[in-house]
Amino acid sequence: MKTIYKLLNPPFLRRLDEWLLGRYPVVWRTRGHYVLFYALLAAVVLFVAGFCWPVSVAKLTIDPIKPIVLGQDVFYILPMVILSFGLLYWAYRQYQAGFPFYQVKQIGATLLIYTVCFYMVTAVAAPAFKLGALVRTAWFLMDEADLKYWEDNDFFAYGFLLKDSDTLSIDAVPSINSFFKEREGEFRKLRKREDFILENRYNSIFIDTLAYLSDRSYLSDLSDLSDRSYLSYRSDRSDRSYLSDRSYRSYRSYRSDRSYRSYRSDRSYLSYRSYRSDRSDRSYLSDLSDLSDLLDLSYLSSYEHYYHTNQHNLINKSQLEKYAVPLRYNSIKIDTFTLTAPRFVYQMEDAIRSVRHARQYLAEWIIFRHARASLLYLPLLACLIFAAPFMAFRPALTAIGTAIAGWMLLTFVLEVKELDPSGAFVNDINILSFALLPLTGLLMLLYPAFTQKQSRYVAFAFHLIVTGLFVVVFSFVLDLEDTDFAIYKPVDIAFFGVQAIGVAGAILMAYIQKLPKRR
């Protein structure tokens, strides 16, 4: 126990605490030196834990296809939840300490320390677990020679793409081997196009351009795997939608500040590449309804025989044993027809793309996009913890009740007027409603500041500001996954306006505390 105590409260930290108490009491009161130390310690522990988290070819921790969005990633959310308990304890200690200062420079120094501490927690400590998992996958999951073996030989390209002229029965084909070799080549071109898209998955300009072009007919070749792609390859790898023309539009909406959900919906998950793994509830051939006639099934049956005869024996089975990938097949029954497709080639492709994805994320420093996005939320969080010493139960309850009553009234008025929810007027009303509570509280605080005497409603006014801050934080944190990947900032002016009101309210509240109370 003594060793743990010394680790959590080392001598140098205690000496620093005593020094700050004597020299800089404003800094000491924030306990920021403890928060920074524990944030760095948590970052190291979480990184090691993420690095040691179990990962294998059969159980990947980095998605092969979908871009990593920390606001939606469980490897970020869970550490953030755990760290939040420490932040709540810190807020409680600030509540106990009170705030006896009133000068602007003292208030500014306090808010700055709070901001730095929150940044260390949200942008350094919380992502450390995911960062450890990324390093493990990028450099320790597969050997470089094995990656080169699978990529050079392309054995996982199990499928073919028919030409428009292929309308006859497979029985009329002169040479089955040359027929499928040629059409496998076309299929592999599509897979290479996929790889090109994945290499640019974090390039917002590229994705925007792709989203625009996907609506043009001359780009239809990127979605050619329809009824012309009679491939016995469609597994339940539903998140391949990122690579289809439908998913380009879904992915763009994911990048907007309106809907990441469409990217994750079942409809957008139906894609021409929904075939590579066994990790969703979709059937192995989710779109096989397109291949219902006997002509299609004859192609599939012939390709299955061709692949097992010519390609399957070329695969180095020791590679599969090395990564504990079982030599399994998926059997799909369609009426009286049964199709057998190898599962292991899809697992190997997923693993290779997972490794490439992890390396890409690290090489392009995508983690700093999240760090940059976190900056936008820091003033809100700093103002909230600054408010802790001034919080009281009754004013808080009154302010929350006022907010609920106002929201119900606004909802009623909008329904009675039957206004268009997507209209500009309603949008302006929603923006105003976010800023109304803190703005009202700020105006109420200005009066005692000018009269140089505290009023009875000062606590209620300040709690209106705090309630407004909570509403904005709650609303925008729910949409964090929409903003931290590519947008980087909310477009709603209320978001920034409420932050400015929060800072002004904090300065006013600290100043008013030193004023004499009105009798």
pLDDT confidence band for 240 (50 / 70 / 90): very low
Structure tokens belonging to residue 288: 């096989």
Residue type, 208: D
Q: What confidence score (pLDDT) does residue 413 get? A: 74
Residue type, 218: Y
The vertex-224 CA angle with 223 and 227, nearest 5°, equals: 120
pLDDT confidence band for 429 (50 / 70 / 90): low
Q: What confidence score (pLDDT) does residue 383 get? A: 92
Q: Of the segments 306-310, 328-332, 426-430, which one has the largest average pLDDT value? A: 306-310
Across the range 179-192, mean pLDDT stands at 84
Q: What confidence score (pLDDT) does residue 164 get? A: 74
**What DSSP string runs through 194-259?**
HHHHHHTTT-HHHHHHHHHHTTSGGGGGGG--STT---TT--S-GGGGGGSHHHHHHHHHHHSSS-
Give pLDDT tens digits for 331-360: 777 667 777 778 888 888 899 999 999 999
Q: Which of 72-86, 180-194, 352-366 has the lowest mean pLDDT?
A: 180-194
Q: What confidence score (pLDDT) does residue 515 get? A: 83
pLDDT confidence band for 122 (50 / 70 / 90): very high
Across the range 364-381, mean pLDDT stands at 89
**Residue partners of 227: CB distance under 8 A and separation at least 6:** 290, 291
Across the range 315-338, mean pLDDT stands at 81
**Residue partners of 429: CB distance under 8 A and separation at least 6:** 410, 414
pLDDT confidence band for 168 (50 / 70 / 90): low
pLDDT confidence band for 431 (50 / 70 / 90): low
pLDDT at 275 over 90: no
pLDDT at 231 over 90: no
pLDDT confidence band for 74 (50 / 70 / 90): very high
pLDDT over 90 percentage in the chain:
35
Give pLDDT tens digits for 477-500: 665 444 433 333 455 667 788 889
User: Contacts from 398-407 at CB under 8 Å and sequence distance 24+?
Assistant: 398/460, 398/463, 399/437, 399/441, 399/460, 399/463, 399/464, 399/466, 399/467, 400/467, 402/437, 402/464, 402/467, 403/437, 403/464, 403/467, 403/468, 403/471, 406/433, 406/436, 406/437, 407/433
Q: What confidence score (pLDDT) does residue 436 get? A: 83
pLDDT over 70 percentage in the chain:
72
Q: Which of 57-71, 115-129, 147-161, 383-397 has the lowest mean pLDDT?
A: 147-161
Q: Of the segments 76-80, 146-150, 471-475, which one has the largest average pLDDT value? A: 76-80
Structure tokens belonging to residue 295: 């002509």
Backbone φ and ψ of 233, nearest 5°: -135, 0
Across the range 445-462, mean pLDDT stands at 89
pLDDT confidence band for 56 (50 / 70 / 90): very high
Give pLDDT tens digits for 193-216: 888 888 888 887 776 676 656 554
Give pLDDT tens digits for 98-110: 888 888 899 999 9
